[in-house]
Amino acid sequence: MSTLSIARYFAFARIKVVRQAVHGEVHGALVHLEPDQRFRPVCHACGTAAATVHSQGYRRTLRDLDMGDTRIWLQVGYRKVWCDRCGGARVEHLPFCHAGQRVTLRLARCVYDLCKVLSVEDVARHLDLDPKTVRAIDHALLEERFGKTDYAGLRILAIDEVAVRRGHAYMTVVLDHESGRVVWMGEGRTEATLDAFFAGMTDTQKHAIEAVALDLWHPYIKAVRRHCPRARIVFDLFHLVKAYGEVVKAVRNEEYLQARDEDRRVFRGTHYLLLKNSEALTPDQHAQLHQLLAINATLTQVYLLKDQLKAIYRERFRYRVKWALDDWIAMAQAVPHPMMRAFIRRLRAAEDGILNHGCYPIGTSRLEGVNTKIKLLLRRAFGYHDSRYLALKVKQAFPGHS
């Protein structure tokens, strides 16, 4: 007599394999399982062992993990029990699936793991499931693990926005700067958006926030100052340099219009050369930029100030940052252009946030990796219409390190 058995592949508690049917033409197998009468049934709602079986003879079919290229379905017999604690008839708990679902827990876990690296459509095609089923499974398990915002241990934050759709559709991303964990994502980039994030924090948790890295976006600044008045706001270097790029562009355009006809050919194609880091320039670009700066003293001043602006953020004490900022502004005042004067006023208005970098050398640069991953997720899924699902996927991709 053969000792081969498939039962060990379905070693589920309180249930037993009674027979199987293999359908070769469809590469599928149907495995029949029945409740093991040696065990008392358990209420699926509260987990209490039931004293009375209300009714039995019910059947439902579940999809399970494949065996090789064979699709596996389980036809499961189950009972309804009378639960005194719940005060009514309830379906008995089956430890390998959730009540109402049409897949086993181990198949659901497989779907969840595959969705980390593949699109929903790819997973659905690979497992021969409906894309809506795959998405629902992935979403449910993401909610189970990442649905609740974890505010524990937050001390230093970075906050920035990311574009998720065309038409100025943004989401706000809050990062634990120390661990790299995405703590929260919410729709929009308004003051009310951050209010929703801080609403889940206790006063003790808010007081524990020491510093927050931001760009110069006023709604974020207002929300942080209102909720965490003790936290130091640190303005990010990247956004200051980006704003200074508008000054470079305006000065270059004005100098081009004032240049002689024979010099204008040197200006052509130099806008991005003025903005690029010098180490990123090719030899030909170096030569072109050197030729431009040689014929225009104003652009030379503006170009050198760009690198000196970055040097401010290399200082590590507040008073030294103050000296570097004052020196930079004194040099910048020699450039007689309204855009430069406006930028100087902007620096003075943001001075405290710049000086705070001397105490907390942080920025939103760590969020650039998050933004890159979000764009990858969006491309893989051809966009997300459900912002909650996208937020959970990002939190899964950036769990942080302990």
Domain boundaries, the chain: 1-102, 107-146, 156-236+363-397, 237-358
| Mean pLDDT, rounded, for 237-244 | 91
290: enclosing H helix or E strand: helix 283-295
What is the pLDDT at residue 398? Answer: 92
What is the pLDDT at residue 352? Answer: 96
What is the spatial order of strands in the sheet that 181-187 belongs to?
181-187, 169-176, 156-165, 211-214, 232-235
Question: What distances in angstroms separate CA 380 from CA 28, 129, 387, 390, one per listed residue?
Answer: 31, 18, 15, 12
Instruction: Give the residue among 106, 103, 164 at the shortest CA–CA distance from 136.
Output: 103
- Categorize the per-residue pLDDT at 382 as very low, low, confident or very high, splitting at 50, 70 and 90: low
> In the chain, how long is the greatest CA-to-CA distance?
101
Instruction: Give the residue among 368, 363, 326 at the shortest CA–CA distance from 347.
Output: 326
Strand partners, 59: 77
Say if CB 255 and CB 299 are below 8 A apart.
Answer: yes
Strand partners, 162: 171
Instruction: Give the residue among 151, 155, 158 at the shortest CA–CA distance from 362.
Output: 158
- Residue 56, classified by CB atoms within 10 Å of its CB into exposed (0-12), middle (13-18) or buried (19+), is middle
Say if CB 185 and CB 394 are below 8 A apart.
Answer: yes
What is the pLDDT at residue 39? Answer: 84
pTM of the model: 0.85
What average pLDDT is seen over the chain? Answer: 90
Top pLDDT among 23 and 77 is at 77
What is the pLDDT at residue 13? Answer: 82
- Give residue-wise pLDDT tens across range 31-48: 999 988 888 888 888 888
What is the pLDDT at residue 347? Answer: 95
Other beta carbons less than 10 A from residue 96's beta carbon: 19
| Mean pLDDT, rounded, for 383-393 | 86
What is the pLDDT at residue 231? Answer: 97
| Mean pLDDT, rounded, for 326-331 | 96
Chain centroid offset of residue 31 CA: 41
Where is average pLDDT lowest: 22-31, 291-300, 388-397? Answer: 22-31
Q: How many residues does the chain have?
A: 402
Where is average pLDDT lowest: 86-95, 155-164, 205-214, 354-363? Answer: 86-95
| Mean pLDDT, rounded, for 295-314 | 93
3 state SS of 44: coil
Quote the CA–CA distance of 48 and 99 in Å, as a whole number.
15
Q: Render 171-216 in DSSP notation, one character per residue.
A: EEEEEETTTTEEEEEEESSSHHHHHHHHTTS-HHHHHT--EEEE-S
- Categorize the per-residue pLDDT at 402 as very low, low, confident or very high, splitting at 50, 70 and 90: low
- Give residue-wise pLDDT tens across range 242-281: 999 999 999 999 998 988 888 888 888 888 889 888 888 8
**Helix 237-258 with 297-312: angle, nearest 10 deg:** 180
The amino acid present at 274, given as its one-letter code, is L
| Mean pLDDT, rounded, for 310-317 | 93
| Mean pLDDT, rounded, for 14-34 | 85
| Whether residue 2 has pLDDT greater than 70 | no
| Mean pLDDT, rounded, for 73-82 | 90
Where is average pLDDT lowest: 39-48, 203-212, 233-242? Answer: 39-48
Quote the CA–CA distance of 391 and 184 in Å, as a whole number.
7
CATH 3.30.420.10 fits 156-236+363-397, yes or no: yes
Ramachandran assignment for 168, one of left (phi > 0), alpha (psi -120 to 50 degrees), beta (any other) = left
